[in-house]
A and B are shown apart, each in its own frame.
Chain A
Amino acid sequence: MRHLSDNALARLRNGAELPDLSGTRYRLIAQVARGGMGVVYAAEDQRLLRRVALKVLEVPGSQSDLANRLMREAHVLARLEHPGIVPVHDAGTLPDGRVFYAMKFVEGQRLDRHIESLASIPDRLRIFISICDAVAFAHARGVLHRDLKPANVMVSPFGEVLVMDWGLAKILADALEPELIKTERITTGLVTTGPAKPESSMPGAAILDNSTNPTNADGSTANATPAATTSPNTGHGSVLGTPGYMSPEQSRGEIDLLDARSDIFSLGALLRYLLTENLAATS
């Protein structure tokens, strides 16, 4: 039996990393980012001849907690069709058993980097309004983002503003449509009977577990946002969000009490950031 050197182990690990896209409509281009929820790849949709981003879990298995979380993120994105929210195109399981979803490939910069080129207050406020529009839409659809921050906003070269990374999003149960309630039951394992209950009485049902976001190795951006500071638990007392941007109730771990006002608090922190960050250097 062949002895494997340490270098061989490293090469085997590297070689085994790429997802198996055989038989799918996608052709792998390159890895873009990596995070706790998996890896983001740039790929070509060979049917529609366009570039997409694939978010792929590293470990196969469609029944794991991570797989359920990833698909939940895809479901959230699928119900939020808005110019300011990255659209999801597809979701499923690759031939190697890894769960994935495909979304729009976003080229641009994270807001925390793009801000260096934003000299005028009006330009910054225009971006802020776009973010608010996207968040308001999500709220109207019963979805909270729960991790709004500059690093989760992308600005494209053509001025598109996209709110990214809905991995910590929360769907309010009373906003769920019947089909989605059934899906929620399947993916969370929660058995519900009768009409959907208010979210506060179903603490575990509609709350996503924490998720770290893909990080870029080289600082350039495409569908890449950094990890949130989160707790692995979803129960009351767990802290989800990013310091400096999370609401007081979020920082206290009062997950059951979170509603749209938590996101609005985060929007306030974003506004302060836009009005103060890097302004002296660029003005």
Chain B
Amino acid sequence: MIESEFSGGRNDRFPLTRWSVIAGVRSDNTADRKRALDTLCEAYWRPVYKYVRLRWSRSASDAQDLTQGFFAELLERELLNRFDASKSRLRTYLRVCVDSFVMNEEKAASRQKRGGAVQHLALDFAGAEEEFAGTTIDAAAIASPESLDELFEKEWVRSHFTLAVEDLRELCVQQNRDRAFQLFETYDLEGDENISYAQLAQQFGIAVTEVTNSLAWARREFRRIALERLREICASENEFQREARAAFGWDAR
């Protein structure tokens, strides 16, 4: 018995038309282009920074300058106009653009501090450097293009999920679900493997069922938010499907 609707049913929360960053950067509308670049930068600046630090062995300040410069160049030279979603993933394209940018900067042998018409982006480089310093990556092991791709992908996922977690935090504040976020933070983010739902329930003074339901809700919302963010930076439905599988590790299982 076919009961539920299939296409575009009432349970389908995803509209057929949605904004995408690729469409935005190619738009004639200045506001759209700015929003698109802001979205792109928010999603990718951390992986770009860490990638430049590791792959190109740049100091923190050099990597900071190069990251700023890369996004400025992305805008100035309209690099995304050349992106073809049928040929590669956006993040692979961006990584290659980063490599090209850094190599060109080396050839130029001098880097001018970006300024003038291009405003410095307000990015938390100190935080990114702290994360980078806290990771245990053996630069010598990062040799092949495949491992570079893996590195960039991992940092892209980390950045993406970080933003989604922050969105979830804000959502919980708006909906007075602070406890749900605290449970999510304790169990899923901090990941104390010794703690049980029963212990959490005792810690928070609530029933175990509330722990279960709150965590289930928070995880579902995290997934929804992360996927919605992902849709924005994908150029097509097929790219979104591929990137969603990559981000959540479904391809590897």
Contacts and interface: CB of A to CB of B under 8 A. Distances in A.
Interface of A: 1-13, 15-18, 20, 22-24, 34, 58-66, 71, 74, 78, 89-97, 99, 186
Contacts of A12: 161, 165, 188-189, 222
A1 B248 contact: no
Given A12-B161, A15-B215, A58 B7 contact: no
B224 interface: yes
Contact of A18 (B2, B6, B219, B253): B219
A96 B220 contact: yes
Contacts of A91: 2-4, 6
Given A16-B226, A58-B248, A7 B3 contact: no
A62 B8 contact: yes
Interface residues of B, number: 49
A78 B13 contact: no
Main secondary structure of the interface of B (DSSP, over half): helix
A59 B158 contact: no
B138 interface: no
B189 A97 contact: no
A216 B1 CA distance: 27
Contact of A92 (B11, B227, B249, B253): B11
B210 interface: no
B240 interface: yes
Contacts of B216: 18
Interface string B203-245: 0000000000001100110111011000000000110110011
B134 A3 contact: yes
Given A4-B162, A65-B238, A94 B6 contact: no
A12 B184 CA distance: 10
Given A1-B127, A17-B248, A59 B2 contact: no
Contacts of A62: 6-9, 12, 14
B130 interface: yes
Interface string B113-130: 000000000001001001
B178 interface: no
Given A2-B162, A3-B131, A97-B11, 11 more contacts: A9-B158, A11-B189, A13-B248, A17-B248, A20-B220, A58-B244, A58-B250, A60-B13, A64-B238, A65-B238, A96-B13
